[in-house]
Amino acid sequence: MIDAAALKWRRVRLPGGSVAIPSRADQPAGELDQELRLLMRALDRQPQAPLLEVGAWDAGLEIAANAAGWPDDGMLVPLNMGALESCQAGVGAWTVLPPDELLPAEATFAVVRAPHWLGRAGVEWVVRAAARALPHGGLLALLGDRARGIESLRRRLPPVVGPLVDRAAGEHRRLYVFKRQVDDPPPQEFPWTVGRRIAGREFTVCQHPTLFSPMRIDPATALLAENLPDRGGRWLDLGCGSGVLTAAASGSDRELTAVDWSFAAVETTRRTLTANGLRADVILAEGPPPGEQRFDVILCYPPFHVGPRVDHGPAARLIRAARGCLAPDGELRVVLTSAQSPRDLLQPHFREITPVAGAHGAQVFSCRQPGTARGRRR
Asked whether the beta carbons of 349 and 343 are under 8 A apart, the reply is no
| Cα dist from 299 to 7, 17, 26, 329, whole Å | 28, 48, 22, 15
Q: Is 263 a binder of ligand SAM (CB under 6 A)? A: no
Please choose, from the candidates 77, 76, 60, 78, the residue with its C-alpha nearest in 3D space to the C-alpha of residue 68: 60
CB-nearer residue toward ligand SAM: 106 or 286: 286
Write the CB contacts of 206 (distance below 8 Å, at least 6 apart in sequence): 192, 193, 242, 243, 268, 271, 272, 275
Residues from 308 through 367 that contact ligand SAM (CB under 6 A): 314, 318
Q: Is 221 a binder of ligand SAM (CB under 6 A)? A: yes
Nearest approach, Cβ of residue 14 and ligand SAM (Å): 31
- Contact with ligand SAM (CB under 6 A): which of 35, 53, 58, 218? 218
CB-nearer residue toward ligand SAM: 65 or 240: 240
Residues from 57 through 76 that contact ligand SAM (CB under 6 A): none
Q: Is 303 a binder of ligand SAM (CB under 6 A)? A: yes
Asked whether the beta carbons of 335 and 307 are under 8 A apart, the reply is no
- Contact with ligand SAM (CB under 6 A): which of 74, 115, 209, 241? 241
Which among 143-151, 187-195, 254-262, 322-330 is the span making contact with ligand SAM, rule CB under 6 A? 254-262
Taking the C-alpha atoms of residue 13 and residue 11, their distance in angstroms, rounded to an integer, is 7
Cα-based torsion angle of the residue sequence 60, 62, 67, 70 in order, rounded to the nearest 10 degrees: 140
Which among 53-61, 165-173, 184-192, 238-246 is the span making contact with ligand SAM, rule CB under 6 A? 238-246
CB-nearer residue toward ligand SAM: 59 or 265: 265
DSSP 114: -
Residues engaged in binding ligand SAM (CB under 6 A): 2, 211-213, 218, 221, 239-242, 244-245, 259-262, 265, 286-287, 301, 303, 314, 318
